[in-house]
Structure 1
Amino acid sequence: MELDLSLDASGVDIDGSHDGSLLSNATWAPVLLQWIEHVRSNPDLSCPSVVRLAPEVSLGLRFTDDAGIAALNSQWRQTLGPTDVLSFAALDDTPDWLEGAAVEGEAVELGDIIVSLDTAHRQAADHDHSLRYELHWLISHGLLHLLGWDHPDERSLSAMLALQEHLLDITGNVLPKDKWTSTCGDRVSPDAYNDEKASLHKTSTS
């Protein structure tokens, strides 16, 4: 399977004490691809059938600041203030024609993950782990939302967090359980994604 990743880090900076490659396509494309491959190849893990069949998937990853994510949080979730990660899911109930398109070789669009770099910095400091760990944690959480995972109750949240920990483990970013953070971001509906996707992608970089 191939991944078409559209990454946008315009308008945000990472301070000199951190590796600037943390905001690069070269860092995140192979990680996201490995995570998607793991979920879709495991029959015991929930995954849309269209993703299991797809020869290619695409998604957007956008790094923003607290002001940027607060605006999205207010507009699409009617929640005031910043959050750490938002997921604009493009898939929900997959229509029959889309499953056929995947078989015929069309890329399947998963949606967009939006991460506040400001909040990621704070949460990494609060939980005494690196910004690299925090970004892997938040982005894995956002990806699972794009793949249909959700956490309406404690049981589903525990399952989702356990899978995130495993995803970090298989890409060499082990995060001890006592460092896990409960993300406050959430999954935004496909209808909202369709309304918002043009502005999310218009300044994206390859």
Structure 2
Amino acid sequence: MTLPTPSDPVTLPDLDLAFAVEGTLAPELLGAAGALADPLEGAERWHGLIGAWLAQLSPELADALHAPAYSLGLQLLDDAAIAELNADWRQQSGPTDVLAFAALDEAAGDVPPLPVGPETGELELGDIVISLETAARQAPEHGHSVEQELRFLASHGLLHLLGWDHPDEASLAAMLARQERLLTG
């Protein structure tokens, strides 16, 4: 009897990640977020997480989203900064937990997205912004740590950048189920 061999390791796509921690965030919030809110260590950790998520999602992506390299931004903000973005872009008052600004906008006819670096085929996906203050408030409500909440919100934002949406309960349930597979995979 031969034992199964591990499958080939997943190849992570090249990822150009712009990571920033901005706003007036209290030291205790930054501490609760751990390494994910550290400007240097956080950039490395987010790079690994998002790269792994993109690799896991690759078989499901539309042809226009298959690329050898991706570019995106991730920012951790305070409630005031995300409330301003929420008002400007969604006409909603107050802070929210996560916003995703997709470079791919089907309504504007941007299908497929234009490569950032034509020589590399790098695709600009857009930006994810997360309120660290809101994430810290929500984490206990969901029964997990601030770090887990940040990963949950970032995965949600990434799915939005890749074209997922949740206009109804069924699509929200499907999106949340896909997030869970990202987070546990």
Q: Secondary structure at the match of 2:114?
A: helix
Matched, 1:73 2:86: yes
5+ unaligned residues in a row in structure 1: which ranges? 171-206
Counterpart in the other structure of 2:51: 33
1:64-105 residue CA offsets vs partner (Å, 9 max, x unmatched): 011110000001100001100000000134446837x76x52
Of residues 89, 94, 116, the one that matches 2:102 is 89
Q: 1:10: Cα distance to partner? A: 3.0
Of residues 35, 39, 42, the one that matches 1:21 is 35
Q: Secondary structure at the match of 2:32?
A: coil
Of residues 132, 153, 160, the one that matches 2:175 is 160
Higher relative contact order (CA 8 A, sep 6+): 1
Q: Secondary structure at the match of 1:125?
A: helix
Q: 1:27: Cα distance to partner? A: 1.1
Q: Secondary structure at the match of 1:28?
A: helix
Q: RMSD over aligned Cα, in angstroms?
A: 2.0
* TM-score normalised over the length of structure 2: 0.81
* TM-score normalised over the length of structure 1: 0.73
5+ unaligned residues in a row in structure 2: which ranges? 1-12
Q: Secondary structure at the match of 2:94?
A: coil
Q: Which amino acid aligns with 2:14?
A: E
Distance 2:113 2:56 in 1: 25
**Rg larger in 1 or in 2?**
2
Q: What is the identity percentage for the equivalent residue pairs of Structure 1 and Structure 2?
A: 49
Q: 1:18: Cα distance to partner? A: 2.7
Alignment coverage as a number of residue pairs: 163
Counterpart in the other structure of 1:169: 184
Q: 1:19: Cα distance to partner? A: 5.4
Structure-2 change in CA distance of 1:163 and 1:147 (3 Å): same
Matched, 1:127 2:142: yes
Q: 1:55: Cα distance to partner? A: 1.3
Distance 2:155 2:75 in 1: 14
